[in-house]
């Protein structure tokens, strides 16, 4: 029996069955009546945004405390709601608002500090803690999953989010597999490590199949013009109308200016585990442990326990070093390279989706039904010079990074990890 690595998933709020998703379903509503004002706006969010009422409704909210939040699911639900309300307030008008009122800023800052997350709509707020399903339903099938809170109320938005939920659920079994592979390398069991690497590749291909289901129920124009502006953060958003970011007003003239990335799949802890496991180095410093760069920065947008899991996995990961040092083990190298190329194919599928849902709509210009005086990420993206070029470097993602160059560099770095 191969000993397991020195790591316990429970210690990091990670599950062998659900991965980085909660063990139980996310709380669908804060039951204490004190928080009904938040829940009321969350339940009406699409209509309030559409009718131009969201800002006035938020301005009229009382400044609630966090005193009645008890359990971890309650803290997560509150964080998710206020993340949605934050981005709805900033981006829910003709022009973005660069001052967030105390009724949102004050409780959100407290909740974010408690959870170890930034006060904005992160991947955790939008996806990990924002879904529901029927009892005993299969979470790996996006058709079984629905959203708790939505900016637009469209099937397109729901499908965009639940595809990620399904990928997270499917990827859960790969976590134990990766730990088993690390253990196999530790005791020099080449045969078992080879088999586990091939199983890992099979799992990645399954995730790619799920990712490619994005096209089924998500219209590119709805995503680009209706949903994507609300996913944007306040970092690198000068062209979208936020040159200084957003001032988080906590009352009595107190507060600070902040620039945060918006919700991004780069904030998925699952995706980063694959890089760590295979020893894919995205850092300019040549070190896959904490360094600089966008991917490393995105760990700050993950729940603290998940971030700590990635740090621990980085300490334990030995796969690439073992494979490169193995003598007379061509099958092991083939299995490792197959895993690297399968991860690269997953990233290729992501690039194709970004091209279809972001680059192509941006190049096409504003269609008549979306022509207005609005200033947001969609209108800014549609006005960038040079988008007809092969390398649209001026196109920024919701996370605030130059989109296509970043994705292609990430894909190419993955390929370069092959032995």
- Domain residue ranges in the chain: 9-415
Domain at 9-415: CATH architecture: Up-down Bundle (1.20)
8 A C-beta contact, residue 226 and residue 156: yes
pTM: 0.92
> Which pLDDT belongs to residue 399?
61
Does the pLDDT at position 191 exceed 90? yes
The count of other CB atoms within 10 Å of the CB of residue 94 is: 11
Tell me how far CA of residue 333 lies from CA of 12, 89, 183, 288, in angstroms: 31, 52, 17, 20
Annotated binding-site residue? 350: yes
Distance, in Å, from the CA atom of 376 to the CA atom of 366, rounded to the nearest integer, reads 12
Q: Place 381 in a pLDDT band, splitting at 50, 70 and 90.
A: confident
CA distance 361 to 378: 9
What is the tens place of the pLDDT at every residue in 389-416?
454 445 666 666 666 677 778 888 888 7
Tens digit of each residue's pLDDT (9 = 90 or more) over 103-127: 999 999 999 999 999 999 999 999 9
């Amino acid at each position: 029996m191969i000993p397991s690595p020195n790591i316990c998933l429970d210690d990091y709020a990670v599950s062998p069955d659900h991965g980085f998703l909660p063990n139980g379903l996310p709380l669908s509503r804060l039951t204490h009546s004190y928080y009904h004002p938040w829940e009321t706006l969350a339940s009406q969010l699409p209509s309030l945004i559409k009718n131009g009422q969201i800002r006035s409704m938020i301005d009229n909210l009382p400044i609630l405390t966090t005193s009645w939040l008890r359990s971890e699911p309650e803290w997560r639900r509150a964080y998710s709601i206020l993340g949605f309300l934050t981005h709805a307030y900033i981006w829910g008008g003709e022009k973005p608002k660069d001052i967030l009122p105390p009724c949102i800023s004050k409780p959100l800052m407290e909740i974010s500090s408690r959870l170890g997350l930034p006060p904005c709509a992160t991947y955790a707020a939008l996806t990990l803690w924002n879904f529901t399903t029927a009892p005993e339903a299969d979470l790996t099938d996006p058709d079984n999953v629905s959203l708790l809170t939505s900016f637009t109320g469209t099937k397109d938005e729901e499908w965009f989010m639940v595809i990620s939920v399904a990928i997270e659920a499917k990827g859960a079994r790969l976590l134990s597999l990766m730990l088993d592979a690390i253990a196999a390398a530790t005791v020099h069991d080449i045969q078992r490590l080879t088999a586990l690497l091939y199983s890992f590749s099979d799992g990645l291909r399954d995730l790619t199949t799920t990712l490619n289901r994005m096209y089924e129920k998500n219209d590119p124009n709805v995503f680009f013009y209706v949903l994507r502006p609300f996913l944007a953060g306040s970092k690198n958003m000068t062209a979208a109308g936020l040159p200084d970011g957003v001032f988080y007003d906590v009352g009595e003239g107190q507060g600070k200016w902040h620039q945060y990335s918006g919700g991004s799949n780069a904030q998925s802890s699952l995706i980063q585990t694959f890089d760590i496991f295979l020893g894919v180095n995205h850092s300019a410093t040549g070190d896959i442990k904490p360094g600089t760069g966008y991917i490393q920065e995105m760990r700050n947008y993950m729940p603290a326990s998940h971030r700590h899991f990635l740090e621990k996995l980085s300490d334990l990961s030995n796969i690439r070093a073992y494979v490169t040092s193995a003598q007379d083990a061509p099958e092991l190298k083939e299995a490792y390279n197959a895993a690297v190329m399968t991860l690269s194919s997953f990233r290729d599928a992501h690039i194709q989706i970004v091209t279809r849902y972001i680059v192509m709509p941006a190049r096409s210009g504003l269609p008549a039904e979306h022509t207005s005086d609005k200033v947001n990420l969609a209108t800014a993206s549609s006005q960038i010079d040079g988008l007809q070029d092969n390398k649209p470097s001026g196109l920024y993602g919701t996370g605030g990074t130059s989109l296509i160059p970043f994705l292609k560099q990430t894909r190419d770095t993955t390929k370069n990890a092959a032995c």
